[in-house]
Structure 1
């Protein structure tokens, strides 16, 4: 009976998130939403509602709790280790032209939407606040490391650090993190009507973003998915998150810290990876397959992971 209750509590965290993804699939199949809506809504989330959500979650946060330096450092180190391991595996197991896409698909998670949604569902304000700080760290790393991996294996491409630096500096999510820090650090209050209006606007973020993720999935592309896509997806959703979480536990993380790390590690491949591959005229079909497969796998692997960690008493 205890196992059933534990599994039920696990589903309470993961099902609301992935239900929205499947609703997005259904709405697209019913043609209630189209590509124009998805494009506009995705841009709105990235440029406005998600930065607002991150900003508000940070100014409401207690930095003495949310600003966990060991957690941030471990997450950064683990992300770098995942990148290096994926690259090493791809070097020996993946065709040369597809290695960069494999590496990016295997280590780059959708922490900004799926990871943050799961963190909010599981840990409330702490999940949003601490998760937003983790997001600020990982956005910089994801962009820099992805450019390196893609440029290394794409003929005629080189790492444009000036362009990369500009891309990072103008990223709305990073800007929102730094914009919120003075308000949090010096306890600068905002008018209550600003907070309330911001909450209304920010509340659009997670359902809208998750519906767009579902609407962009292509079952047809999954059916013709290559072995490389399946390998990268298995690496992203099974090997790396469980190995990284085990290491985190061994070095002393537990409770909400470990749970937050797992949810971010176990997030499916970020949709931004497709955009970067398309920008360099790479194998966009492979990138799309990895995103689709990992997103569908997440509903099973994340639920199983949270259930197992709770069963072990680690979170």
Structure 2
């Protein structure tokens, strides 16, 4: 596959996503949707359609033939390092009320949609198999760590401490985590849903991406972007440049190469997940800043991913 093919394939994934954000902006300005719609749709995505999509994707994944403990272990370790580094930088450079949103925006990638699609475009079915292997770790680690970061910086009275019981309760009751816990043993046992149930679930799950992106666009505020542009830019650069560079270099040093290294790069180089907006809103954090980070990272993803793949291919490591 030529560099032009990779670039066009990346655009095929990134541009439709970003276009949906602008559709949300247009619908809000035309008055076709309002804040009540955004609130309702966000709850539907977080509690219903997104968990359904995750459940079905794991249930249909070939976990038995793609299981690689070294790859899973490295991805988990790299995610924890990225999360810790984002938190450390937030303490030094980000105002306290925005730290949770910054941390989530800086480390949480859209692996389940953009990352998997890019892996399929580069490696076909082999890329899908390798990417599907990582999805369970992606969903569990990203959601647990996001809940911890957002809960740690929820508005609290002066002098109060972090309510770790509340954090644990958020984790245990998180619909996305519940869907992973429910689907994984069924997938390992090879359980399959009836065709009618699978089709119905696909219909319901297909609402996830358009609804989430429309809500992002409807919440996006140019005034807020001007006000908090430094935080949004900082989180976007961390997500699209610093973390992909660091984690890919670490993966190469650890001995990964070829398809596995390529998929790791694509996952870590994916723009901030749309689910970050839904979770930020559900937990009372700054959803406008989250939407701005998602929009920025989605906008520049086609450039950074293409440049990254070009460098890795020229270097002969993928």
After TM superposition, the score normalised by the length of structure 2 is 0.81
Q: How does 1:170-181 map to 2 (within 5 A)?
A: 170-181=173-184
- Which residue number corresponds to residue 301 of structure 2? 302
Equivalent residue of 1:33, what SS? coil
The answer to whether the 8 Å contact 2:252/2:261 transfers is yes
Among 153, 156, 160, the residue aligned to 1:157:
160
In 2, Cα distance between equivalents of 1:101 and 1:188: 38
The answer to whether the 8 Å contact 1:236/1:294 transfers is no
The answer to whether the 8 Å contact 2:43/2:282 transfers is no
- Which residue number corresponds to residue 115 of structure 1? 111
The answer to whether the 8 Å contact 1:60/1:184 transfers is yes
In 2, Cα distance between equivalents of 1:91 and 1:40: 33
The answer to whether the 8 Å contact 2:97/2:155 transfers is no
Instruction: Indicate the RMSD between aligned Cα atoms, in angstroms.
Output: 3.1
The answer to whether the 8 Å contact 2:105/2:294 transfers is no
Equivalent residue of 1:253, what SS? coil
The answer to whether the 8 Å contact 2:91/2:99 transfers is no
- Which residue number corresponds to residue 86 of structure 1? 86
Deviation at 1:85, TM superposition (A): 2.2
- Which residue number corresponds to residue 222 of structure 1? 225
Equivalent residue of 2:181, what SS? helix
Q: Please state if 1:213 is matched with 2:216.
A: yes
In 2, Cα distance between equivalents of 1:45 and 1:239: 30
Give ranges in structure 1 of 5+ residues lacking alignment: 279-283
The answer to whether the 8 Å contact 1:100/1:152 transfers is no
Moved over 6 A (4+): 151-154
1:205-239 deviation per Cα after TM superposition (whole angstroms, max 9, x unaligned): 12221222222111111122254443344333332
Question: Please, which moves more after superposition, 212-221 or 268-277?
Answer: 268-277
Paired positions, count: 302
In 2, Cα distance between equivalents of 1:256 and 1:19: 30
Give ranges in structure 2 of 5+ residues lacking alignment: 121-127
Deviation at 1:298, TM superposition (A): 1.5
